[in-house]
Structure formats: structure tokens, C-alpha cells
């Protein structure tokens, strides 16, 4: 790709230079000037995304001790560790915008920060590991592949690695469901039940409908988001339909059909009242998820203290040596 010449800040003024970089598909980097609202939007989205990865470890962490074989346990542990890694890349990306990790963690623990609605649903059966991988990581890929082209450099670059790992996560979920669907009557019923429970919350992950999404228009103008919430939902359903056929599961929406004229899927209504209740903190597992995070934070206090003390001693040693 040829990079168009960029006029300097002195020529155009900082705002105009920013606009030009965005318009030319170039990246905004941490030291570049950026509008305050752009910075705030990025901190909001990236920190929510990081929190989602960290809280998202819990529903699957629930099954590590009960995975049905050593192989399944090793895969699940690797996946949950990947989510921790994603959280850390994203907290680091958000830190480049002038917020500290401590501030973000405090907002989460105080219940002031949002994280994805999806992680407030329970995981009562092993098939939930399959449904999460297939549907939740599948939705994450649809949403996050376009974020690899986000205008803010550190966010886009973090997303590249995250998406590669999400793709492995989605396949492992699909494979769990496929194995169950090739098993006994009971196993098939368990897989279908998990798909029935996760399908609608996974569709809601993409956020409210476009006409109720206050942030989309500006975020798309800034090229943080590339597609609207409803368009991504359409892509996701388009990806699921042929995969559901291979699995032999039924997507639990009797109104779902492809409309060749519009090139879009007609679908049943998502329960937006339920979605907003979950986002407000009143989902089936919100309280449990936050309490678990608070406990883990408190139990990890000694690690943070030890790391800070180690850093202090290292700095002192370097000072003495200098």
C-alpha cells in the first residue's frame, strides 16, 4: 500500500493532522495529539474489553477441575490462560492513553466499570465449554477482526494476536460440540441445551441495536469501530448457520431465515430488557463474578507488594551502580 504524504502539524494544526491520519488509514500513536473525546472513548472501550477478558476467565475456569479428560483439561487451561494474556495486552494498550492499571482495576472492583454482558451467565454443564467456544469466541472474532484495523495503533496491534488465539478458541469449542453431537442421546441433548442457552446472549454481545447505540456513529467516524452492531450481528449469524448444520444443532430462533432480496437474515427479537438488566448488574451471575474478582485481587495483594519491592530494590541498585 502506498502511504499518502502527510502534512505536518504546523501546517494544518493538530486536529487537522489527526483527521488526515484517520482519513488516510494511518495510525494514531500514543505520543500523537488526539482529541480528548477520542482518548476517553478508547479508554472506555479498551478497559471494558480488558475487564471482559479477565472476568471471562471465570465461567470456563469453573470447569478446569472437572474436564472429562486430561487432554480436555490441558486445552481448557491453555484457553483460560490466553484470556488472561488478552486482558494484560489490553490493559497495557489502555495505559498508553494515560490511565493506570490500578485505576482500571479499582473501577472494576468497585462495580463502576462495564464488562461484557455474556460473562454473567452460568456454566452448569460440560457442553457449556463447547457453546462458549463456538458462540462466544465466535462472536468475539466477528467483533474483533475489524478492530485489528482500529485507528489507535496499540489497540489494533494487540487485537491481531488476540484474534489468532480466539480463532483457536472457537475451533476447540466447535470440536467439543461436534464430539458431543456424535455421542449418546444424552450428550446430544446436553449440547443442544447449551446452544439454546448461549445463542441469544451471544447475539446480544454485539451491543444494542444501531438506533439505540449512542457511541457507534462517532466511533465509526474515528475508525475505532468499522461496522455497526447490527451489521456485525448479521455477519455472525451468517457464519453460524452453515456451522450449525455441520454440527447437527438447531439455532433456537424459529424466525431465522435468509432473505435473498435484502441479503440479510431475518431474526427473532433479542430480549433487550434482559440485556440491559444484565448490563446494570442484575444478571444471574453478576454479583458472584465481581465478588470472585475482589477476592482474587485481595489474595494477590502480596504478589503486587513483592513486585513493587523488587522493582524498588532494582532501581536502588542501578542508582548505586551509576
Three-class SS of residue 273? helix
53 contacts ligand BYC (rule: CB under 6 A):
yes
Can you tell me which of 47, 95, 123, 143 binds ligand BYC, judged by CB under 6 A? 143
Query: Which segment (25-33, 50-58, 177-185, 296-304) binds ligand BYC by CB under 6 A?
Result: 50-58
CA dist 174 to 116, 127, 169, 177, 231, Å? Answer: 21, 10, 9, 5, 23
114 contacts ligand BYC (rule: CB under 6 A):
yes
For 44, the grid coordinates are: 472506555
116 contacts ligand BYC (rule: CB under 6 A):
yes
Can you tell me which of 156, 173, 208, 283 binds ligand BYC, judged by CB under 6 A? 208
Closest-CA residue to 198 (of 289, 124, 282, 287) = 124
Can you tell me which of 21, 97, 129, 136 binds ligand BYC, judged by CB under 6 A? 136
| Residue placing its CB nearer to ligand BYC in the complex, 96 or 250 | 96
The whole-angstrom separation of Cα 195 and Cα 249 is 8
User: Closest-CB residue for ligand BYC?
Assistant: 56
For residue 104, the minimal CB distance to ligand BYC (Å) is 13
Can you tell me which of 18, 121, 155, 206 binds ligand BYC, judged by CB under 6 A? 206
Residues 6 to 45: which contact ligand BYC by CB under 6 A?
44-45
Three-class SS of residue 296? helix
* Cβ contact 163:140 at 8 Å: no
Closest-CA residue to 22 (of 156, 132, 117, 143) = 156
Residues 186 to 205: which contact ligand BYC by CB under 6 A?
204-205
Can you tell me which of 207, 223, 244, 247 binds ligand BYC, judged by CB under 6 A? 207
Phi and psi at residue 188, to the nearest 5°? -65, -40
Can you tell me which of 83, 135, 195, 235 binds ligand BYC, judged by CB under 6 A? 83
User: Site for ligand BYC (CB under 6 A): how many residues?
Assistant: 28
215 contacts ligand BYC (rule: CB under 6 A):
yes
The whole-angstrom separation of Cα 285 and Cα 306 is 32
Sign of CA pseudo-dihedral 270, 273, 279, 284 = negative
Residue written as grid cell 463456538: 134
For residue 128, the minimal CB distance to ligand BYC (Å) is 12
For 280, the grid coordinates are: 446494570
Chain residues in the site for ligand BYC (CB under 6 A): 44-45, 48-49, 52-53, 56, 83, 114, 116-117, 136-137, 140, 143, 204-208, 213-216, 219, 225, 229, 279
Amino acid at each position: 500500500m502506498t502511504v499518502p504524504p502527510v502534512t505536518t502539524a504546523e501546517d494544518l494544526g493538530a486536529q487537522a493532522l489527526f483527521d488526515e491520519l484517520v482519513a488516510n488509514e494511518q495510525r494514531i500513536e500514543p505520543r500523537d495529539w488526539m482529541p480528548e473525546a477520542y482518548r476517553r472513548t478508547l479508554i472506555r472501550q479498551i478497559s471494558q474489553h480488558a475487564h471482559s477478558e479477565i472476568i471471562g476467565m471465570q465461567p470456563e475456569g469453573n470447569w478446569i477441575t472437572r474436564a472429562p479428560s486430561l487432554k480436555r483439561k490441558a486445552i481448557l487451561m491453555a484457553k483460560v490462560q490466553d484470556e488472561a494474556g488478552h486482558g494484560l495486552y489490553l490493559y497495557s494498550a489502555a495505559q498508553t492513553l494515560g490511565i493506570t492499571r490500578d485505576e482500571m482495576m479499582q473501577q472494576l472492583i468497585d462495580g463502576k466499570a462495564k464488562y461484557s454482558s455474556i460473562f454473567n451467565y452460568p456454566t452448569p454443564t460440560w457442553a457449556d465449554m463447547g457453546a462458549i467456544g463456538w458462540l462466544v469466541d465466535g462472536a468475539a472474532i466477528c467483533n474483533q477482526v475489524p478492530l485489528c484495523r482500529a485507528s489507535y495503533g496499540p489497540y489494533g496491534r494487540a487485537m491481531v494476536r488476540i484474534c489468532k488465539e480466539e480463532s483457536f478458541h472457537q475451533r476447540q469449542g466447535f470440536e467439543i460440540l461436534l464430539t458431543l453431537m456424535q455421542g449418546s442421546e444424552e450428550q446430544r441433548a446436553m449440547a443442544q441445551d447449551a446452544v439454546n442457552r448461549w445463542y441469544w446472549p451471544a447475539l446480544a454481545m454485539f451491543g444494542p441495536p444501531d438506533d439505540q447505540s449512542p457511541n457507534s456513529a462517532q466511533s465509526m467516524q474515528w475508525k475505532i469501530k468499522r461496522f455497526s452492531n447490527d451489521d456485525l450481528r448479521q455477519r455472525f449469524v451468517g457464519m453460524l448457520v452453515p456451522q450449525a448444520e455441520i454440527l447437527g444443532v438447531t439455532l433456537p430462533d424459529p424466525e431465522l431465515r435468509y432473505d435473498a432480496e435484502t441479503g440479510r437474515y431475518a431474526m427473532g427479537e433479542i430480549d433487550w430488557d434482559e440485556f440491559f438488566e444484565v448490563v446494570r448488574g442484575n444478571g444471574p451471575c453478576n454479583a458472584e463474578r465481581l465478588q470472585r474478582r475482589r477476592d482474587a485481587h485481595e489474595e494477590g495483594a502480596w504478589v503486587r507488594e513483592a513486585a513493587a519491592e523488587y522493582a524498588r530494590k532494582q532501581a536502588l541498585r542501578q542508582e548505586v551502580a551509576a
